[in-house]
Amino acid sequence: MTIKGLQLTSLVKEDCTLEIALAEVEMPEPLPDEVIVRVEATPINPSDLGLLFGPADMRTATMSGTAEWPVISAQIPENLMPLATPRLSKAMPVGKEGAGVVVAAGSSDAAQALMGKTVGMAGGGMYAQYRCLKVSMCMDLPEGTTPAQAASCFVNPLTALGMVETMRTEGHTALVHTAAASNLGQMLNRLCIDEGIDLVNIVRKPEQEALLRDLGAETICNSTADTFDNDLTEALVKTGATIAFDAIGGGDLASRILKCMEVAANQSSSDYSHYGSDVYKQVYIYGRLDKGPTILNRDYGVSWGVGGWLLFPFMKKAGAQRITELNARIAAGLKTIFASHYTREVSLAEALSLEAIAEYSKQTTGEKFLITPHSRT
Amino acid sequence: MTIKGLQLTSLVKEDCTLEIALAEVEMPEPLPDEVIVRVEATPINPSDLGLLFGPADMRTATMSGTAEWPVISAQIPENLMPLATPRLSKAMPVGKEGAGVVVAAGSSDAAQALMGKTVGMAGGGMYAQYRCLKVSMCMDLPEGTTPAQAASCFVNPLTALGMVETMRTEGHTALVHTAAASNLGQMLNRLCIDEGIDLVNIVRKPEQEALLRDLGAETICNSTADTFDNDLTEALVKTGATIAFDAIGGGDLASRILKCMEVAANQSSSDYSHYGSDVYKQVYIYGRLDKGPTILNRDYGVSWGVGGWLLFPFMKKAGAQRITELNARIAAGLKTIFASHYTREVSLAEALSLEAIAEYSKQTTGEKFLITPHSRT
Please indicate whether, in this complex, the C-beta atoms of B313 and A298 are within 8 angstroms of each other: no
Q: Which residues pair with B62 in a beta bridge?
A: B73
Q: Which residues pair with B92 in a beta bridge?
A: B10
> What is the three-state SS of B214-279?
HCCCCEEEECCCCCHHHHHHHHHHHHCCCEEEECCEEECHHHHHHHHHHHHHHHCCCCCCCCCCCC
Where is pLDDT greater, at B269 or B218?
B218
Contacts of A195 (CB under 8 A, 6+ apart): A164
CB pairs under 8 A between A and B: 106
Please indicate whether, in this complex, the C-beta atoms of A298 and B308 are within 8 angstroms of each other: yes
Q: How many residues does chain A have?
A: 377
Spatial contact of B241 and B176, defined as CB atoms under 8 Å apart: yes
Query: Mind telling me how many Å the CA of A144 is from chain B's nearest CA?
Result: 35
DSSP B88: B
State mean pLDDT over B339-362. Answer: 94
- Output the pLDDT for position A137: 94
Q: Are strands B4-13 and B17-26 parallel, antiparallel or unpaired?
A: antiparallel
State mean pLDDT over B192-214. Answer: 97
Please indicate whether, in this complex, the C-beta atoms of B50 and A312 are within 8 angstroms of each other: no
Query: Mind telling me how many Å the CA of B143 is from chain A's nearest CA?
Result: 35
Determine contact: B304 vs chain A, CB below 8 A. yes
- pLDDT mean across residues, chain B: 94
Q: Which amino acid is at A268?
A: S
Determine contact: A303 vs chain B, CB below 8 A. yes
Determine contact: A50 vs chain B, CB below 8 A. yes
Interface of B with A in 306-365 (CB under 8 A): 306-310, 312-313, 316
Please indicate whether, in this complex, the C-beta atoms of A285 and B298 are within 8 angstroms of each other: yes
Q: How many residues does chain B have?
A: 377
CA dihedral B92, B156, B80, B12 (to 10 degrees): 10
The count of other CB atoms within 10 Å of the CB of residue A256 is: 21
Spatial contact of B221 and B190, defined as CB atoms under 8 Å apart: no
Residue burial A45-73, b: 16+ Cβ < 10 Å; e: rest: bbbbbebbbbbbebeebebeeeeeebebb
Q: What ipTM was predicted for this assembly? A: 0.87
- Output the pLDDT for position B272: 61
Spatial contact of A86 and A109, defined as CB atoms under 8 Å apart: no
- Output the pLDDT for position A106: 97
Residues of A within 8 A of B289 (CB-CB) are: none
Give the integer Cα–Cα distance in Å for A339 and A148: 10
State the Rg of chain B over Cα.
22
Query: Mind telling me how many Å the CA of B54 is from chain A's nearest CA?
Result: 8
Spatial contact of B86 and B27, defined as CB atoms under 8 Å apart: no
Q: Is the pLDDT of residue A274 over 70?
A: no
Please indicate whether, in this complex, the C-beta atoms of A302 and B316 are within 8 angstroms of each other: no
Q: What is the pLDDT of residues B273-315, one digit of tens each?
A: 667 888 999 999 999 899 999 999 999 999 999 999 999 899 9
Give the integer Cα–Cα distance in Å for A71 and A66: 8
- Output the pLDDT for position A272: 61
- pLDDT mean across residues, chain A: 94
Q: What is the pLDDT of residues A67-108, one digit of tens each?
A: 889 999 999 999 888 878 888 999 999 999 999 999 999 999
State mean pLDDT over B320-338. Answer: 95
Spatial contact of B331 and B157, defined as CB atoms under 8 Å apart: no
Residues of B within 8 A of A296 (CB-CB) are: 293-296, 306
Q: Is the pLDDT of residue B194 over 70?
A: yes
Count Cβ atoms within 10 A of the Cβ of residue B237 and give its class: 0-12 exposed, 13-18 middle, 19 or more buried.
middle
Please indicate whether, in this complex, the C-beta atoms of B295 and A298 are within 8 angstroms of each other: no
Q: Which amino acid is at B332?
A: A
State mean pLDDT over A3-28. Answer: 97
The count of other CB atoms within 10 Å of the CB of residue B116 is: 8
SS3 B280: coil
pTM for this model (two decimals)? 0.88
Residues of A within 8 A of B281 (CB-CB) are: none
Q: Is the pLDDT of residue A139 over 90?
A: yes
Please indicate whether, in this complex, the C-beta atoms of B51 and A274 are within 8 angstroms of each other: yes
Query: Mind telling me how many Å the CA of B112 is from chain A's nearest CA?
Result: 32
State mean pLDDT over A121-132. Answer: 97
Spatial contact of A341 and A367, defined as CB atoms under 8 Å apart: no
* CA-closest candidate to residue A279, choices A261, A297, A256, A252: A261
Spatial contact of A186 and A214, defined as CB atoms under 8 Å apart: no
Q: At what angle do helices B320-332 and B311-318 cross, to 10 degrees?
A: 120
State mean pLDDT over B81-96. Answer: 90
Residue burial B73-105, b: 16+ Cβ < 10 Å; e: rest: bbbbeeeeeebbebbeeeebbbbbbbbbbbebb
Q: Is the pLDDT of residue B351 over 80?
A: yes
Give the integer Cα–Cα distance in Å for A297 and A257: 11
Q: Is the pLDDT of residue B335 over 80?
A: yes
- Output the pLDDT for position A1: 72
Q: What is the pLDDT of residues B265-274, one digit of tens each?
A: 988 766 666 6
Nearest to A86 among B272, B296, B297 (CB): B272
Q: Is the pLDDT of residue B377 over 70?
A: no
